[in-house]
Chain A
Amino acid sequence: MKILGFIAVIITGILLLQAERDFPDWGDPASPANNYRLSQHYITQTFTETTVPNMVTAVLADYRGYDTMFETVVIFTAGIAIIGILRVFGSSSQLEHKEPTLTAKKPDLIVDTTCRLLIPIIQLFALYVVAHGHHSPGGGFQGGVIFGASFILLALARNLQTAQKWLPESRVLTLAGAGIFIYAGFGVAALVLGGDFLDYGILTKLLPGGVEDARSHSMLGVEIGVAFTVTAIMFSIYSNLASNGKMKEGI
């Protein structure tokens, strides 16, 4: 298998290198990918069309918002899939003996105090990253991951139960589903108002401001939905993997 794998890898590598002569130079602004009207449009028109200075956010949540909706679905799928694969409902005595018995660990003073100080700041920063995704690097995914990480930190510093007081399993799923519903809700609202799916422009009928503002506001709403899902699923993945699907002890 090793030799076979090596040969396959070498062949693939040589094949990929063949095309490289043909590539435009690295960092060439005149390369087809950078010079085509697609990228030009995104750079020059984003602000006039959506009043969002961060082009990445605008392309992510508006121009290619349909992609991003399914990106959120991928996260949701992963969460549900891991629950489906690992989660053991109820008591499972037959698996118990394999687990090393964890003695109730006393929280370390330094770790505990640091986390107590850090977690609020992390969460505040996460909210900032979500809310300020239009103007600076950030957005729903990044903010959601940071927010989820704060709960994982809590679970690591104390134990899984403490973190689950804030995010019990039922709430995790509700949050994750609610996030997708927020996202899809913007799409369906556009559908109901007579536009195409996810056409935020038509939401001016509901939101203040002109078409551009409606797009900008909808993007914020959509990002919040994404952040919900990502926060919930990140913590769900961690807690399932850490406790081997039993949601009891864990690291």
Chain B
Amino acid sequence: MTEQAPVLILLFPFLSAIVVALAGIRMKGLCWPLVLLSLAGSVCASLSTLGRVLDEGTIRYHLGGWAPPIGIEFRIDGLNALVAVTVSLVALITAIYSKISVEAESKDKVSQYYAIFLLLIAGLLGMVITGDAFNLYVLLEVSALTSYALIAMGSKRATLAAFKYLIMGTIGASFYLLGVGYLYIKTGSLNMFDIHEQLVLNNLEQSPTILVAFMLITVAVWIKMAFFPLHAWLPNAYAFAPTTSSSIMGPLVTKVMIYVMIRMVLTVFGPDYAFEVLNWDNIVVWLAVIAILAGSIGALAQKDLRKMLTFLIIAEVGYMVGGVWLADETGMVGSIFHIISDAFMTLCVFLFAGIVFTKTGRRNITAVEGMFKKMPLTMVGFIVGAFSLIGIPPTAGFFSKWYLIQGGINSGNWEYVVALLISSLVNAVLFFRIIEIAYFGAKPADGHDDHHGEDHSKISEAPFTQLVPLLGTAALLVIIGIYNKDIVSIIQDFLLPFNLGAGS
């Protein structure tokens, strides 16, 4: 069965989504176990795929039995396999967490919610493992449509945010489609690897069509990942969505888009084209610096806990985009590693924000007041996530930032290094403020409503299904931190054939 593992990765969530949509209407109790079961299957399949990739190298899986470029293929190497494992694991953890909050937040639409949730995972996993540029567009739209719906099922303000996201997302996806069309008109192929071969074969490096295709695709993924000037849709959309929606989309959607960007840069256009022929690296790194700083400053200005975290996502996206465009091998390793660690640490803090919201019903940062006494285990989970976001060893965040900074130093992009350090400092300020409130209680100036104190007395430890995912994520962050060498060696093996130089 391991031979079929690549397709099983996404068949599990995809088929069970439909079962959930059909059977879940009558038997609501069936939804959650089914979701868990299918995602567990997906995790197993992706792990076995990763194992096979480590043993045998790149796996090629021809769908429909047609060899590419005639048919569609999955082409799974170290990068895909790692990201697929990350995506399916994050999905499983969020699914465990979701039980209480979904039942509370969308009472009579549980089955629809879970069906859309699973389809989102199927879309994201499909994007990660596919080797076909057009197929990526179709799955991009599956994941986009489901994200709009997951956000729009939230509170009143979420609806407008979802509409804005829909408009921006459609512009992004259409630009991607157009970019693929520009590649197609010059190469006649849709398979990512074949497109690259044709580009090299026909000497299309100087062609303006390819240049425009590259710009369109880059801008498209930037819109989708909320890279700084194009980020306007993200904060409200993620902050006002149902808590499960933001805990699944915050960690995954932007990270998968960064994967797509890396795939496009490395595999489709090739690092030679992206970094040497075009020579935009410095501009993009500067944009990334602005994104990091803007995200951090935006986070400082927020009083709403989840909105603050959404601005951190924008800063993190800046890290990774910058890391890719450093055009340096260490920076690229850092970016790819940061996809993994950032997925887990964002998940960790979003889960915490969700728990706080369900417990207190308040969105403000002051809601965590006195949490250390009332729910110590929850706070332990949160602190690990916060330390990882700040970059304190031995958490995963420290190591990925370490490689990013190394890359910045190697390539001589000091502005990037400085921005990273400033952003880490800002993260420290933000999270220690929260920890302080949680430990000592809010200063009288911050707490506007006195009667909230009464509500707090009832709060106790988070329920089992919410606590386990949070602590599990925290443990994973430490484990990834400890085993960082192994993950980095997988990434380095993947990067070997691309011959990324040290610095530009």
Contact = CB atoms under 8 A, between A and B. Distances in A.
A78 B211 contact: no
B7 A22 contact: no
A197 B7 contact: yes
Contacts of B185: 23-24, 31-33
Contact of A198 (B63, B189, B215): B63
A87 interface: yes
Interface in B115-165: 115-116, 119, 122, 126, 132, 134-135, 138-139, 141-142, 145-146, 148-149, 152-153
Interface in A48-74: 62-67, 70-71, 73-74
Nearest to B135: A67
B99 interface: no
Interface string B347-382: 000000000000000000000000000000000000
A190 B274 CA distance: 40
A81 B146 contact: yes
B259 interface: no
B142 A67 contact: no
Contact of A196 (B64, B184, B202): B64
Nearest to B181: A33
A156 interface: no
B188 A39 contact: yes
Contacts of B139: 70
Nearest to A90: B108
A84 B11 contact: no
B231 interface: no
B21 A80 contact: yes
Contacts of B211: 19
For chain A, what secondary structure do more than half of its interface residues adopt (helix, strand, loop), or is it mixed? helix
Nearest to A195: B65
Contact of A34 (B70, B187, B188): B188
B207 interface: yes
Contact of B116 (A84, A90, A196): A84
Contact of B138 (A62, A71, A181): A71
Given A32-B185, A81-B146, A74 B208 contact: no
A41 interface: yes
B186 A84 contact: no
B401 to A, nearest CB: 34
B425 interface: no
Contacts of B198: 32, 36
Contact of A184 (B15, B21, B152): B15
A238 interface: no
Contacts of B122: 73
Nearest to B219: A12
Contact of A36 (B66, B148, B189, B215): B189
A202 B149 CA distance: 38
A45 to B, nearest CB: 9
Interface in B58-104: 61-66, 69-72
Interface in A181-233: 181, 184, 188, 190-191, 195-202
Nearest to B138: A70
Interface in B198-231: 198, 202, 207-209, 211-213, 215
A2 B422 CA distance: 36
B61 A32 contact: no
Interface residues of B, number: 60
Interface string A163-190: 0000000100110010011001000101
A98 interface: no
Contact of B188 (A18, A33, A200, A201): A33
B14 interface: yes
B64 A87 contact: no
B263 interface: no
Contacts of A63: 64, 66, 70-71
B182 interface: yes
A76 interface: yes
A73 B135 CA distance: 13
Contacts of A198: 63-65
B167 to A, nearest CB: 12
Given A19-B182, A174-B22, A67 B188 contact: no
Contacts of A66: 63-64, 71-72, 135
Given A197-B11, A197-B63, A38 B189 contact: yes
Interface in A74-94: 74, 76-78, 80-81, 83-85, 87, 89-90
A30 to B, nearest CB: 11
Contacts of B64: 62-63, 65-66, 196-200
B333 interface: no
A158 to B, nearest CB: 27
B133 to A, nearest CB: 11
A16 B112 contact: no
Contacts of B66: 62-63
A21 interface: yes
A92 to B, nearest CB: 11
A38 B69 contact: yes
A176 B145 CA distance: 17
Interface in B1-22: 4, 7, 11, 14-15, 18-19, 21-22
B209 A19 contact: yes
A21 B208 contact: yes
A15 interface: yes
- Among A36, A196, A201, A202, max chain B CB count under 10 A is at A196
Given A19-B208, A19-B209, A197 B109 contact: no
10 contacts: A19-B209, A19-B212, A22-B208, A32-B187, A36-B187, A36-B188, A66-B64, A74-B145, A77-B142, A84-B152
Given A38-B70, A84-B116, 19 more contacts: A19-B182, A36-B198, A38-B190, A62-B64, A67-B132, A67-B135, A70-B138, A74-B138, A80-B21, A81-B152, A84-B106, A84-B113, A85-B153, A177-B18, A180-B18, A197-B7, A199-B63, A199-B64, A200-B65
- The 5 A-B pairs of least Cβ separation, nearest first, read A36-B188, A81-B149, A199-B65, A19-B212, A84-B112
